[in-house]
Chains A and B, each alone.
Chain A
Amino acid sequence: MSNVASLKEPAANSDQAVPAPFFVRGKLLDGREARHKSRDLGVDFATPKINLDSLVTPRTEPGPLFDVRLDEILDFLAASGEAMRCDAKGYLQGAVERISATNVLPRVVIEANVQMAAEYLNKARLLEYAQQNLGDARLLDEWVPRTDSAGRRSFTRAFPPRLIHVLPGNSPLVSVQSIALGAMVKGINLFKMGSSDPFMAVAILRTMMEVDPNHPLPRSMSAVYWRGGDESVERALYRPQYFDKIVAWGGGDAINNVVKYLGPGLQLVSFDPKTSISMIGREAFESEEILDDVATRAAHDVGMLNQEACVCSRVLFIEGDRKQVDRFCQRLQQKLVDRNANGGKAPPLPRDLAEEIEGLRSMDDDFGVWGAPDGSGLVVRSDEPVDFHPINKTANVVSVKSLRDALKWVNVATQTVGVYPPARQVELRNGLASGGAQRIVRLGDAGGQSVGAPHDAMYIMHRFVHWIVHEDGFEPG
C-alpha cells in the first residue's frame, strides 16, 4: 500500500497561502508550518517545517540506488515518463496550476515544459546521454578493468555521489533533468527547490511513487524548500560529512550563499548565469524571403520561454548598413509580436528598464527602438551592446562591419551562439570558444539539444560521479 496515495490534499481554508508539500526519501510530507514568498509574484506558499536529520543519509549506509543496475533505473524512469504523460492522479496538473500562481511564465509555456519533461524520460535517449557523458555507461554498474602500458591493472567505477541540487526557478524541465541525472548516477539526491517553483520536483517524485511505491529510486530522492541563504539550514547541511557536491544554478546571491560552505570534500558543480547571443551575416539580406526567414529564426531564439532561460538570445550582432539593419530590426520586432499568439506576452519591462530604453529612443542618431516595453516584443538597435540586460522579449541588435568584430563582446558568460548562415559557424567557432562561449548552433535552433552533448563546457554526469579506482598491481610473473 502506498503511503502517498493515502495522503489527502490539504483542505483549502481561509489561509490564502498555496500549500507546497515536501518529498523526503520516498514519503510525501504535508504541513503548512512555514510560510514563504515567491520571488517574482510575491505570492505566499506554505510548507512543512524542515526536519534536517531526515535529509541526511549516514555514510555508513549505502544509498538505495547504489546497487541497482542502470538498466533497471532506466526502465523505472521510462515508466515514470509514461506515468507523467497520463498524470492519473493529477499531480502534475496540480503543480502547473500552482506554478502559474507563483511563476512569471505563462501557463501554456509551463504545460509545454511539463510535456517536454515527460518526453525527456526516454530509455534509449537517457542511455545515449550516459554513454556520451561517461564514454562508457558500464562504469556506472561495474568496476571496469584496464591494464596500463606498464602492465599495472586497475578497475574504475563512476561511484554514486551524495548531491544537493539547488534548483533554479525558471524552468520546470530542469527538475526532471536533475532527477533523471541524479538517478542515473545512483546518487543520494536532495533537491532544494526555488521559490518560483516549489512544486514541480515534488509532483514528479509523487508521480514516480505511483509507478512503484517501493522502488529504491524515489527513496533516494528528497525535495524541500528553504529560503536560499537561510543559515539555520545551510550551515547545518552543507558539510562534506553529509554531501559530496552542491550542484547550483545562478549567480550573485544564489552562488555566494553556497560558495562560503565549500572546502575540502565539498565541491561545487555550478551552472553559471549565462547570456546567449546571435550572429547574423550579411547573407540575411540577399532576398526578402531570406530576411523574413532569418527574422523568424532570430525571434524564436529570443522569445522562447519568454526569454527567461539562459539559451535565449539577447544580443544579436548583424552585418549590414544602417538601412538594412533597421529593416531587420523592424522585421524582428514584428516576428516577436507574432509569436505572442502561441506563447503569450512576457510581463511588461520593469519601469526602470523601460525608462532607460525610452532615454535611448530620444537619441535617434545613435539608437533605434522598435515596439513598446509591454512584454510583447521590443528591439533596440545600437553600435555596441547596451548596458542593460535585455529581458521580457527584448532584443538588442548591434550592427557590426564583420561578425569577427563582434568576438570581442563574447565572454565566459556567453553560452549559446546562434549563427546565420549555418556555413559560417565553422569560421567563427574557434574565436567564439576562445572568447568563452560554450555552444554554437544554427540561428533558430538554440532550443534544440544534442543528446549527451556538453553543457556549459562540461559533461554533467562526469562531474556528478565520484571517480574511484581500485588498483590491483601487476599480474604475477
Chain B
Amino acid sequence: MNTAVTFDSELERLVGLVNVPDSFDYDYAEVLPRQLAAIDERFQDRVHRIKLLQNRAETAGINAVRQMADVVPLLFAHTAYKSYPESWLSESKWDRMGRWLDTVSTRRVERMDTAGIEGLDAWLLRLQDQGHHVSCSSGTTGKCAMMNATQADLDFCGQSLLRALIWQGLGPNGDRKMISLGQVAASPRNRATGRPMAEAVSAPGVAPFAPNVPPITVGGITEMVVLRKKMAEGTAKPAEVAYYEAQAAAREQAIESAVEQAADALIANRHMKLHVMGLFVPLYKVAERVRAKGYSGKDFNPENSCFVSGGLKRTQLPPNYREYVFETFNMSGQRICQTYGMQELNTNAPRCPAGRYHMAPWVMLLPLDESGESLIEPPATGEIEGRAAFFDLSLDGRWGGIISGDKVRVSYGRCACGSRSPAVHENIQRYADMVAGDKIACAGTIDAYVRGVTGAES
C-alpha cells in the first residue's frame, strides 16, 4: 500500500515546471531520482485503475518503481491502443468498444445508452460529453490507435507546446498572421495544441488562415479502414469499392486543394509577418508551389516564423528539404521552431540551435535496445543510440509510458546550445523503414490481395 503521499509531490513539482521559462535546462543527475519518485507515484495510483497496466505489473512482478529498469516492463507499445477487434468498429458495437477503451483508460468509461449512435464520430462526441477526449493516430491502411485523454491533458498539450516555442526563442507576441497548412486529422489533441498557439502569435484582429477543405475526421478515416477490410474479406460489393476509390480520390484532391490554397494565402499575405504551422511534407509541397508561382525568399518578411512538426512518414523528400522550405519563406534562426513528439505524448521536445531536441523535465526518455526489451543505461555524459521510449508524467487520461518506433541518438551532459537536459539528435529513423524491402515468404494474408489503397497518412 502506498503511504508516501507527500504534501507537495515530485509529480506535481515536475509537471508544474511547464510554467517556468527555463524548464528545458536542468541537471539531469538531480532530476532523474525525482522523475523516478514521480513515476512511482503515478504507478501506485494507476496500477489499480488501468487494467492493462495492472496485468503488466503482475506479469512482470513489479510493485514499485525504484530505478529506470523498473519502468521498462511497464511501457506500452502503440499497439496497446489498437488492440480492439476491428469488427467491433465496423459493426458499431459501441458498448464493447467502451469496455475495451476502459481497459486502457485512467477514468472509468461508464456504460452508456448506445442506441442511436450513428458512426464513430457520434460515439466519440458522446464520450467527450463524459470527459473522455479520444484522439486517434492512424493511416488509411491500418487500424486507428485510440488514446483517451482528459481536459487536463488537452490543456497541458497546448501549454507545453507554447512553452517549447517560447524556449526556442519565438517569443510569441501577437504581431503576425498564422497560416496553418491543415491536412491533419481533426482530433481533440490537434485542436488543443493549435488554439493556444494561434492566440499567442496572431496580431489583434488578424484571423488565422486554414485551407477550406473538408475536415479529416476520425470517423471518416475509419470508414475507409472498415471498407478496406470489407474489400479484403470479399464482402464489399463493387459499388462499395467504387465508393472507396472515389473517396480516396476526393481526399487526394482535398490535399491538392489545401496546397494550392495555402500557397495563395502565403503569397497574398507576404507583406505581413507570417507564422506558418504544419507538417514537413505538405510544407515542402506548398514551398514548391509558391516557387512555381514565381515567389521566393526575397518576397517574404525576414521575420517570418514557423512551427514544423512531424516526421517524413516514409515520404521521400530531397536531402535539402529543410533549407528549401526555410529559404522559400525567408525564415531563419530562432524563428524556426521544430519539435519532436508523437500523438501518444502530451509533450513535444523543442529543437535547439545545435539541432537537438531537448527533453522536458517531466518527460523521462528511456533508451532501449532495438527489441524494446531492455534499458540501455544512460551515461552521465556522452552519447548512446537505441529505441526511444518515454514516460510523460503529465499524462492524466491514460498511462504515461510508451515505446516508440524511433531509433534515436541521445546525448547527455551539456549540449552545444548550453542546456544540460538529455537531447535527441536530429537524425531520427523509424525502425519500420529500415527493414529491407525484399521480404519474401509463402505465408501471408488476404491483405496482399487488396488493390488500390492510398498510402497517405494523416
Chain A residues with CB under 8 Å of chain B are 37-39, 166-171, 174, 194-195, 227-229, 249-255, 257, 271-275, 307-310, 312, 351-363, 365-366, 382, 384, 386-387, 389, 391, 409, 411-413, 436
Contacts and interface: CB of A to CB of B under 8 A. Distances in A.
Given A227-B438, A309-B443, 6 more contacts: A39-B438, A250-B442, A254-B440, A356-B79, A365-B99, A409-B233
B441 A255 contact: no
A352 B84 CA distance: 14
Contacts of B69: none
B440 A194 contact: yes
B268 to A, nearest CB: 42
B196 to A, nearest CB: 33
A310 B445 CA distance: 10
B440 A387 contact: no
A257 to B, nearest CB: 8
Contacts of A412: 234, 446, 449
A228 B440 contact: yes
Nearest to A276: B443
B83 A359 contact: yes
A457 to B, nearest CB: 14
Nearest to B443: A310
A74 B107 CA distance: 71
Contacts of A271: 442
B371 A351 contact: yes
B446 A253 contact: no
B403 interface: yes
A411 B76 contact: no
B80 A356 contact: yes
- Chain B CB count within 10 A is highest, among A312, A352, A355, for A355
Contacts of A257: 438
Contact of B103 (A250, A251, A253, A362): A362
B310 interface: no
A358 B56 contact: yes
Contacts of A272: 444, 448-449
A280 B76 CA distance: 36
A214 to B, nearest CB: 33
A417 B108 CA distance: 43
Contacts of B143: 387
A361 B55 contact: yes
A358 B80 contact: yes
17 contacts: A39-B439, A170-B441, A250-B441, A250-B442, A251-B448, A253-B438, A272-B449, A273-B442, A273-B443, A273-B448, A355-B83, A356-B79, A357-B83, A358-B56, A361-B55, A362-B55, A387-B86
A168 B441 contact: yes
Contacts of A351: 77, 371-373, 403
Contacts of A386: 85
A358 B443 contact: no
Contacts of B373: 351
Contact of A413 (B80, B372, B435, B448): B448
A249 B85 contact: no
Interface in B87-141: 87, 96, 99-100, 103-104
Given A170-B442, A356-B79, A358-B56, A366 B96 contact: yes
Nearest to A168: B440
B441 A308 contact: yes
Contact of A352 (B79, B86, B448): B79
Given A253-B439, A362-B51, A413 B96 contact: no
Contact of A363 (B103, B443, B449): B103
Contact of A312 (B87, B439, B443, B445): B443
B372 A249 contact: no
Contact of B446 (A308, A310, A360, A411): A411
Nearest to A227: B438
Nearest to A359: B83
A360 B442 CA distance: 28
Contacts of B403: 351
Interface in B44-82: 51-52, 55-56, 76-80, 82
A34 B35 CA distance: 48
B20 interface: no
B445 A275 contact: yes
B440 A249 contact: yes
Given A227-B436, A252-B448, A273-B443, A355 B85 contact: no
Interface string B230-255: 00111000000000000000000000
Contacts of A254: 438-440
A174 B440 CA distance: 12
Nearest to A257: B438
B83 A273 contact: no
B437 interface: yes
Nearest to A193: B440
Nearest to B86: A387
Contacts of A274: 442-444
B103 A229 contact: no
Contacts of B371: 351
- Chain A CB count within 10 A is highest, among B372, B442, B447, B448, for B442
Contact of B442 (A39, A171, A366): A171
A169 B55 CA distance: 37
Sort A-B residue pairs by CB-CB distance and give the 5 closest, nearest first. Answer: A273-B444, A359-B83, A251-B448, A228-B438, A310-B442
Contacts of B440: 166-170, 194, 228, 249-250, 254
Nearest to B372: A351
Nearest to B441: A170
A306 B143 CA distance: 27
B442 A363 contact: no
A307 to B, nearest CB: 8
A167 B438 CA distance: 11
A237 to B, nearest CB: 15
- Chain A CB count within 10 A is highest, among B78, B444, B447, for B444
A323 to B, nearest CB: 22
A195 B436 contact: yes
A345 B436 CA distance: 25
Nearest to A386: B85
Nearest to B82: A356
Contact of A387 (B85, B438, B448): B85
Nearest to B143: A387
A272 B79 CA distance: 28
- Chain A CB count within 10 A is highest, among B80, B83, B103, B441, for B441
B374 to A, nearest CB: 12
Contacts of A169: 439-441
Given A39-B436, A253-B438, A361-B55, A356 B83 contact: yes
Contacts of A39: 435-436, 438-439
Nearest to A350: B371
A365 B86 CA distance: 17
Nearest to B444: A273
- Chain B CB count within 10 A is highest, among A273, A351, A359, A382, for A359
A79 to B, nearest CB: 29
A363 B437 contact: no
B437 A229 contact: yes
B102 to A, nearest CB: 9
B448 A249 contact: no
A362 to B, nearest CB: 5
Given A39-B439, A355-B79, A252 B55 contact: no
A357 B83 CA distance: 7
B48 to A, nearest CB: 13
B444 A250 contact: yes
A261 to B, nearest CB: 15
Contact of B445 (A167, A168, A195, A413): A413
B270 to A, nearest CB: 41
Interface string B408-446: 000000000000000000000000000111111111111
B443 A359 contact: no
Interface in B33-51: 51
B449 A251 contact: yes
